[in-house]
Structures are given as C-alpha cells and as structure tokens.
Structure 1
Amino acid sequence: MTLSTRPDIPRGDRELSRRPARLGRLGPLLFLVHAGWMLPFAAAGTLIPAIMTEIDPDRKVALYGTLATTGSLASMIATIVIGTLSDRTRSRLGKRNPWIASGGVVLAIAATTMSFTSNFPLLVALWITFQVGLAVVLAPLFAVLPDRVAPSNLGKASAVIGFGQLVAQSLGSVVAGALITVPREGLRWLPWLIAVTAVLFVLLAPEADNRNEPREKGSARALLRSFIPPRDRDFLLALIGRFLLLMSFMSVLLYQLFVLTDYIGIGVGEAGRVIATGGVVMAVSSGAATVLSGPLSDRLGRRKPIVITASLIFAAAETPLVLSHSLTAFYTFLGVGGFAYGIYIAVDQALLADVLPNGDDRAKDMGILNIANTGPQVLAPIVSGLVVTAVGYRSVFVIAIALALASALVLLPLRRVR
C-alpha cells in the first residue's frame, strides 16, 4: 500500500511528504507565470486611464473609477467562486492546472477587443470579462504555493513569486510609459503574455491526476458558504492587514498618471517618461529588497516583523508627497515605497500560507485572502476620486500614510506566525 493511500497516516502528513525538499523547476516557473500576469496588468493601470483621457478628458477620473470598480468587484466574486471550484475539481490534469491554462486566453481576447472600441458600456463589460479571466488564472495559481511547496521553502518560494511580480510590475510601468501616447496598442497585445506564460506553466509543471481524490459534494448552498471567511482570528487579521497596506499603496499608484499631470503639473508625454523612469527606480529598489527578505524569513523562521517593518517604511515613503509637489517627491515614493513593497511581497505569500486554517479549501481561502489584492482596486479609485474632488491630492497621501500605519498595528497580534 502506497503512502498516499494509507488510511493510518493523517492527510496533512501525507501532503507534506509529497512536497519536495527543494523548489527545483517549480521555482523558475513560478517566477515566469507570476511575472507573466503582472506585467500586462501593471501596464493596464496606466494604459486604461490614458484611454479614458482620450474618450473624455473632463470626466476621465469618474470614467476610470467606474471601470476599475466594476472590474474589481467582478474579480473579487470570481476569485472566491473559482477558488472553491478549483478545490473541488478532479481531473487527469489535477485541480489547478486546467483553470490556469484557460483563463489567460479569455482575458487576452477581452483586452484585444477593448483596444478597438470607445463605447464606454462595452469597455466596462469587456473589462469585467478581463478581470474574471484573470481570476480564473490566479485563484488556483495562488494555491500552488501551499499545495506544492514544503513549509521550509515557503519564504524562498514567496520571494521568487514576489520578485517575478516586482520585476514585471516595474517593467509594466516602463512599457506603459513608452506606449502612453498609443495606449490601445499596448492593451491589444500585452495581455497575450498572460495566456502564453499560463500555458507554459501548465505544460512544464504538470499536476498529478487527482480523479481518485475524495471531494465534498457541490451545491449552490456550499458555493454561497464559500464567501464566508473562516472563523479564524489569525486568518482575519492577515486579511485586514494586507488589505490596509495594499489600499495605502494603490491609492497613490493607481492614480500615478493623474498625480503627475494634475498634482505635480506636467504634460501627458512627460508623465509617460517619468512613469517609465520610475518603473526602473522601483524595479531596482524592490528587487533588492525581495532577494534579501524571502530567504531571510526562512533562515530566521520569522515573517511578522518583516511585514510590519515594510508597513512602516511604506508610511515613510508616502510622506514626501504630502510635503512637496515635485518630481523628487514622486521618485522618492517609488524608490522607498518600492523597497518596502519588495520586503512585503517577498514574505507576504508565505505569511498567508502559514495562516490557512484548512487544507481542503486552500484555493478558496487563498482567494479570500487575495481579495486584499482586488479590494483596494475597488475602493482606491472611489475613495481617492472622492477625496481628490473634495479636498485635493494631498489628503489622499495623508490617508495612505494612515492606512500603512494601521496595517502594522493589525498584524501585531498574529499568533500562529512569528
């Protein structure tokens, strides 16, 4: 009788025994697939506002807020639904890979179609489709970490994922800056990178046949229950802490084009060059932090102090924008904030994996935790848009500082994570 079928061995122990001691080929593939989805997504954060400016310069903030909010709401719902379905999927290709391979094609088709229209309701519908397609990729992809990586390697794997996302996010800013005057060209072709890297990941990191694995019977009621977070204190604290920190960062980053043109006072063309240069600044600072922080967390066996430190540095990074309307303040935000983001993202996925309460619902629970990715994209455009309209950009930066500090305070009481 094989280890995987022996009933006398607890399921958790059997799963740990199947996770390799080294990352091996999975490490580079995690880097590739996470970089592959982040680069087009990061570029879209600049290209979409540029398209809104083309459509209606006077209503660009309102249009962008509506588009971002509806897409992100759809993404939050889809992430939990797809995560739940992935946990219960049984196939020859496993429970994650079939979803990962299909979502990229859907979103790429939606983005390409967006590049050919200026009809705003159609753009909203297509952006919702894009976000749902991305959720089909990401909900099962985030579960790969707790599924297939040994606890002793979670920090390294999280650093690999974080480094891929950071490099791609910075390159996305460079690419978007270069395409700022022709944003539709970028939206037309860049998202196909997600489809290509997702398919490569599935082909080169095959998942075991799981058709004989038992599963909970599916029902509409069970699907609705999946939207309820686990009643677990550490899980909820990690969710709130992540949400607050990313809300702080997104409140500024998602509006960087408008911050440059409306707050600092430069033209769209120059703003594109600044965003491209800022992408390089952020890549260098965040990349250095990521390479150091992930392995350090494994060596020390500690995640919480590293993530809290990142929150405090975030708050410091956003302070110069409150004090100055200058490009120096903007570059300082990207450089110091990028360093903080690098520290955070290198350890964050490992911290989230450490607080999962139930091995049977990993994709669903990781999907709920990763609402902290999409939630700020829903609220940041709304909150920042309202605040900018009422009292200006400086108040947005003050709120962002407060959110970063609140994130540090929320993470302090975590018990299962040192």
Structure 2
Amino acid sequence: MSTSHKSSELKPAEAIQTLPSEAPGAGESPIEVAASNFSADDSPFNEFGERRFVTRLSWFGPLNLVAVLAFTIPTAATAALFSFMYTVVLPESQANTAIGITNVFGAFVGAIFAVLIGFLSDRTHTRMGRRNPWILSGAAICTLGLVGLAFADYTAIWSVVLFFCIFQAGLNTFYAAYTALLPDRVHSSLLGRASAYSGFGSLAGTALGSILTQVLVSVFGSANLKEGFLTLPWLMIVIAIVIVIVLPGADLRAKQNDRDGALASGAKSQFRIPKDRDFWLAYFGRFAIVLGVMLILQTATQILRYHLGLSVAGAASVGAVAGLLMAGAGAVSSLFAGFISDKIGKRKPLIAFTVAFFILGAALLAFSNSVTVYYLYTICAALSYGSFQAIDQALMVEVLPDKEHVAQDMGMLGTTNTLTGVIAGGLGALLIGVLGYEMLFVISGVLAFIGILIFIPIKRVK
C-alpha cells in the first residue's frame, strides 16, 4: 500500500484553500491512484483545515467509543423492545412474521439513507462543515422514531414499521456522517486502534442495551413495555452535541462557489458507483460475514422465547447475562485485535482467524438448545465480532477508491450492515419456519466462512 504525498507544511488556512486532487496524470494509471491511501497523509490538517490525528489518537479514541456506545445502546434496546412487544400481543407465528417484516423494512430504509446521506454529506457546505449538520439531524430523527414507537399500536404492525423506519433513517443519517470522520481525521497508522474503540463501543453498547432491556421489562412490565422507548433517545442527543462541539467542522460557505466551479465537471459533481475491484471484494466479503451474524442476531428474541422456551422475563434475564459476557469478551478482543493489526500492518489474516470463532459458536448452537450453550455461543461471537469490527473498519478505510467520495463510499460499505438486516429479517424468519433453528445456525456459519474466502483476493490490504 503506497502512501500519499506528505503535506505537513500546510497551515490550516492554506489547507482550506487546497482543492481536491486532480485527475491522474498521463503517466499515472487509475490503479496506482486508487491504491494511494489518502489517510496516510502526515499533515496535521486535512484540505479543509480540520484537525487530524496523526501521531496519536489522544482523546479521539475514547470519544469514538462513547459515541458508538451512545447510539448502540438505544439501537439494541429498541430491537429487543419491539420484538418483545410483538410476542406479548401476538401469537408465536404472527409475532415471528411481524418481527421479520419490521426488521426488513427498517433495514431497507436504513440502507437507502446510509448511501443518500453519505452522498449529500460529501457535498455539504455549511458553517458547521460537511459532517456535523447530519450528525445532529440523525439524532433528532432517531428521537422522532423512538417517540412514535412508544405510542404505536403493536397489533397494527404497519404503525410500528413506520416509526421503526424513521428510527433507522435517523440512525443511518448519523452513522453516514460520523464514520466519515475516520478517513477525514485519522492517520492510517492509527486506524486499527481507532476502529477498536468503535468495535468495543458497538459490542458494549449491544450488551448494555440487553441489560437496559431487562431493567425496562422490570420497571414497566410486559403490558406497558413500549413506554420504555421514551427513555432511549436522550443519550444520543447529548453525544451528538458533544461531537459537534469538540470536533468543529470548517466553515465552507465562503468556499462553496469556488469548489463547485472546480468540481462542476469532476467526479464529485454526481453520484457514481465505484468500479474498484478491491472495494467490491471488501463489500461482498463483509456482506457475507455480517449476514451470517445478523441471521442469529435478528432472531435472538425468537431463539430465547421459542427455541430455549423462556418467558419474556426469563428471556430478558438471559439476554442481560449474555450482554455482560459479550461486553467482557468483546472488550478484550477488539482492543487487542486493533493494536495488533496496526503493529503488524496486516488485516486479512486476523479477520480470517477471528471470524472462525463465530463459526465455532454457530456450530455449538446447532447441536444444543441449552442456556449454557447459548452463553458459550455469545462468548465466541463476542470474541469474533469484537475483533472483526476493530480490523474491518480499518480495512474499509484502506480500500476507499478516492478522496472525493469518502462519506458516500463509507456509507455504501455501511449498507452491508443495513442490507444484511433486510435479508436477515426475512430470511431468518423463513429459515426458522421451514428448516428450523438448527439449520439457521448452520447457514450462518457457512456464510461467515464464504466471507473469509472473498476477503483473500484483496490486493490493496495485506
């Protein structure tokens, strides 16, 4: 992986003046240009004059953890709450269908917003910069969706679907802008560690979301559980405001006309689908692995309630314990994997090694329906997914084809989370109904293995 030209001599004012990179010269091939990793630039400022973290993460690492945590906790609790509500008011077959439909539509809307907001974010010129307006907007839209879920009628499925789609729209609006901060602000030598904070935040947030769900079940009871949605949005609002304050964007209003003129006939003037080979190998490899994980994750409520035969309170209790195990195992694996990945400069072998733990966990579930084995699966999955997220997010930044479509391309890669939700929500319910839970677990493991194979031919990442 080659590095881009260093520009550490640029001062903020000069950096703002810098226009996007010109097209490849006569002697440069498109492959050489694509292979240049712009996040390896040693300048302390990007071309807009915004601060970059070049030699150390400083406070950005903990902020990254807290930000992801603040949005993952309500996301995990939201998925559990509406699923439990369906199982309370609907028979098993109808609840299974309703959970699948809600997840499918929510994930589909999320995928659309991930790409759309990424596209718009790269083209946003405001006093707050490119990313911050969308970060704040995402938190506000999430709040609207959660308030709607608190008042929806769960016997009328489509009202729940509507508000869950609004929540997913807000969630992906936030993430489309927020994830672009890594290539915007972080040097490539620190990407593994920065991603490790994100990975741990995601796993810990999922764990704390499970614990919060148990608390809400205890406080509100099964009949009034939907009132718990009103407790969820406030942490997201606070952290969005904190991000905007501590990571101010450059005021781009004065530069809008100059940049628009310079880019009128360039690549940034319109939406484009990347044609880069490594980008799509990373996309489909990640798609297969995340789909395998999502098949089990999105059917967790059915697994606990019907496969393990637990009550709502019992399922919430087991989910909380599993959450603690997930947080502990995920913390160790994500931070360790991110550090090692940066030190050895390799991503692919570590991804193969860590995903193997998920395959092992899925195999354990296929041969037993005991709570103990469910806990063992949770540990394996946490070790796997914590490490995978730490390494994978760094890999995603390294395969970005060019600097002018950062948020758009990160948003497109992010659709591997949302589109797999579209598929997993429906496919999981279908597999349970037709083939049973055991085949669901087997297929999850097979998909993860296929993902490992797809990652292997990527050339731009070791």
Scaled to the shorter chain, the TM-score interval is: over 0.9
1:179 is paired with a residue whose SS is helix
* Selected match of 1:203 from 218, 239, 245: 245
CA distance in 1, matches of 2:134, 2:310: 43
Instruction: Give the total of aligned pairs.
Output: 414
1:113 aligns with 2:148: yes
Write the deviation string for residues 60-93 of structure 1: whole angstroms up to 9, x where unpaired: 0111111111111111111111100000001121
Change (3 A) 1:107 1:367: same
- Between the aligned partners of 2:382 and 2:402, the Cα distance in structure 1 is 33
Is 1:283 matched up with 2:318?
no
Contact 1:177 1:274 in 2 (8 A): no
Cα distance, 1:65–1:150 mapped onto 2, change above 3 Å:
same
CA 1:264–1:61 in structure 2 vs 1: closer, same or farther (change >3 Å)?
same
User: In structure 2, what is the equivalent of residue 274 of structure 1?
Assistant: 318
Unaligned 5+ residue runs, structure 2? 1-9, 23-37, 46-51
Q: Which residues in structure 2 correspond to 1:12-51 (within 5 Å)?
A: 12=38, 16-17=42-43, 18=45, 19-21=52-54, 22-51=56-85
Percent identity over the alignment? 33
Q: Tell me which residue corresponds to 2:406.
A: 362
Matched residue SS, 1:123: helix
Paired position in structure 1 for 2:104: 69
Deviation per CA, 1:222-259, whole angstroms, max 9, x where unpaired? 66x44x3x111111111111111111111112211211
Partner of 1:303 in structure 2? 347
The two structures, once aligned, show a CA RMSD in angstroms of 2.2
Change (3 A) 1:361 1:392: same
Post-superposition shift, 1:14?
A: 11
Cross-structure match for 2:375 = 331
Instruction: Give the match for residue 4 of structure 2.
Output: none
Native 8 Å contact 1:46 1:254 kept in 2 = no
- State which of 185, 188, 209 in structure 2 corresponds to 1:151: 188
Counting only pairs closer than 5 Å after superposition, residues 99-248 of structure 1 correspond to structure 2 as: 99-118=134-153, 119-180=156-217, 181=222, 182-211=224-253, 212=255, 214-215=259-260, 216-217=263-264, 225-226=271-272, 228=273, 230-248=274-292
Q: Kindly tell me: are residues 133 and 8 of structure 1, through their superposed partners in 2, closer, same or farther at Cα, counting changes over 3 Å?
A: closer
Change (3 A) 1:150 1:53: same
- Aligned with 1:342 (options 386, 410, 434): 386
Could you list the per-position Cα deviations for residues 242-289 of structure 1 after superposition, in whole angstroms to 9, with x for gaps in the alignment?
111111111112211211221122222211110000000111111110
Distance 1:69 1:5 in 2: 42
Distance in structure 2 (CA, Å) of the matches to 1:10 and 1:374: 31
Alpha-carbon separation, structure 2, partners of 1:244 and 1:80 = 19
Q: Distance in 2 between matches of 1:14 and 1:163?
A: 24
Q: State how far apart, in whole Å, the 1-side matches of 2:206 and 2:352 are.
A: 22
Which sections of structure 1, spanning at least 5 residues, go unmatched?
Answer: none
Q: Matched residues in 2 for 1:397 and 1:152: separation?
A: 37
Q: 1:382 to 1:23 in 2, by over 3 A?
A: same
| CA deviation after TM superposition for structure 1 residue 5, in Å | 6.0
Select the residue among 113, 123, 126 that pairs with 1:78: 113
Contact 1:4 1:14 in 2 (8 A): no
CA deviation map 1:151-201 (0-9, x unaligned): 111111111111111211111111113324353133222133222211111
1:81-92 → structure 2 map (5 Å cutoff) = 81-92=116-127
TM-score, normalised with respect to structure 1: 0.94
Q: What is aligned with 1:55? A: 89
Question: If each structure's helix is expressed as a fraction of its own residues, which one has the higher value?
Answer: 1
AA aligned opposite 2:241: V
Give the C-alpha shift of residue 33 in structure 1.
1.1
Q: Distance in 2 between matches of 1:8 and 1:124?
A: 43
Scaled by the length of structure 2, what TM-score is found? 0.85
Instruction: Report if the CA contact (8 A) 1:72-1:378 is conserved.
Output: yes
